[in-house]
Amino acid sequence: MPRIVVLGAGLGGTIAAYEIAGAVKGRAELMVVSNSEDYWFVPSNPWVAVGWREPEAIRVHLPPVMKKRGIGFTAVGAKRVHPAENRLELNDGTDLSYDYLVIATGPDLAFDEIPGFGPEHHTVSICETRHAVAGADVFERLAADPKPIVVGAAQGASCFGPAYEFAMLLDTELKRRKVRDRVPITFVTPEPYIGHLGLDGVGDTKGMLESEMRERHIKWITSARITSVDPDILHVEEVGEAGEVRKTHDLPFGMAMLMPPFRGVPAVFGVEGLTNPRGFVLVDKHQRNPTFRNVFALGVCVAIPPTGPTPVPVGVPKTGFMIESMVTAIANNLSDLLDGREPSFEATWNAICLADFGDGGVAFVAQPQIPPRNTNWSSSGKWVHVAKIAFEKYFLMKVRKGESEPFYEKLALHVMGVKKLRAR
């Protein structure tokens, strides 16, 4: 039987394994190569960092679930992908050959591109659950001894939703603790305007997020480039339309969380024909690599060009709905290939996002991602906070059961009234 290997068991790889298992049942052997036995629900990390979630609550131990679904599993991790030889070089020195490979390795966090940046230096991170746990300690110290906070994203970042979420969650929690009046918050972002989100805005995200920030007394600096970080000062350049430095800022902080730029993970970075210069996997409209036709990719590791030029580089976000849609397209395309047909399914690459602020939130749908759009919808209210909790509960329940059921599609159809979004 042909062997399909899914590389990476995060948000995309896990549901891909489940969905592919159903689609190719009895026609292929399926194997997942992860670098951890545990799955962590990344979208809840901001809650972990303000003490609203225990990390254990968002963890799923994968080996028994994979076994139940008849999926082979190893947590040894891949050192390098060798697509010309249909082979993975694993971290324990062994090799694993495949007939089809699905790459779902997510991002490598490029903290090293800015001096002093990242959880090994002076800023906290919410990108991984273990980072968020360390961030929660910093937050507790800050709440006990109030100091300024800086939140936002670095130049080249593509994932802005969590930055906005975290700024508002901090505001909500500090108010609950009655110390918000002693904690100035500044939002620093490479976006040319608040609410751009790497998508040139969706609906009225500019108006809604600016208004939310004004309401909460959060100051902001846009078109910002971080030059370096000292133990308690963030150095920032504000860039003008022509790329000139308009102003510099030295922002003191007791806690700073800025989303890093992403790049491809070392196992794929620089593999000729597989990835772009930033290490993201190149795919066609069927999620298939143009050079290595038996390799597919999904999620944050996929190369997607920016929506347009901005004074400071800004990437395009890859969020849960888009990932669900890539998963379905790949499962169907693998099924086609096993039946001797050419792949015909396409992911829709639309964006649906829920940004929770703890006491409300903002939601948007961008269809397609790049404007002008057919659907350009945004909304705000307490329902977003409730929907985000539902997303967490539903997704974790499905991962624990070994099932892949699209959450965002259901939300879009039943709550937002948006139709025909998924892989076709």
**Shortest Å distance, C-beta 255 to ligand FAD:** 16
User: 159: buried, middle or exposed (CB in 10 Å: 19+, 13-18, 0-12)?
Assistant: buried
Binding site for ligand FAD (CB under 6 A): 7-13, 33-36, 42-43, 45, 77-78, 104-106, 126-127, 159, 161-162, 265, 267, 299-301, 319-320, 323, 353-354
Ramachandran region of residue 381, left (φ > 0), alpha (ψ -120 to 50) or beta? left
Cα gap 85→90, rounded to integer Å: 14
In the complex, the smallest distance separating the C-beta of residue 355 from ligand FAD, rounded to whole angstroms, is 7
Q: How far is the CB of 26 from ligand FAD (least distance, A)?
A: 26
Check if the beta carbon of residue 283 is closer than 8 Å to that of residue 126. no
Closest C-alpha among 256, 258, 253, 290 to residue 275: 290
Spatial distance between the Cα atoms of 102 and 94, rounded to a whole number of angstroms: 19
CB of 94 to ligand FAD, least distance (A): 13
303's tokens: 């190369």
CA proximity to 323, closest of 45, 134, 43: 43
- Respond yes or no: is residue 127 known to be catalytic: no
Select from 256, 268, 269, 301 the least CA-distant residue to 283: 301
Indicate the residue among 193 and 269 with the shorter CB distance to ligand FAD: 269
Q: Is the dihedral of CA 304, 422, 406, 359 positive or negative?
A: positive
Options 199, 353, 384, 418, the catalytic residue: 353
How many other CB atoms sit within 10 Å of the CB of residue 178? 9
Task: Identify whether the C-beta of residue 375 lies closer than 8 Å to the C-beta of residue 365.
Answer: yes
Annotated catalytic residue, options 159, 221, 268, 416: 159
Closest to ligand FAD by CB, 165 or 238: 165
Q: What residue is closest to ligand FAD based on CB?
A: 10
Q: Which residues are catalytic?
A: 159, 353
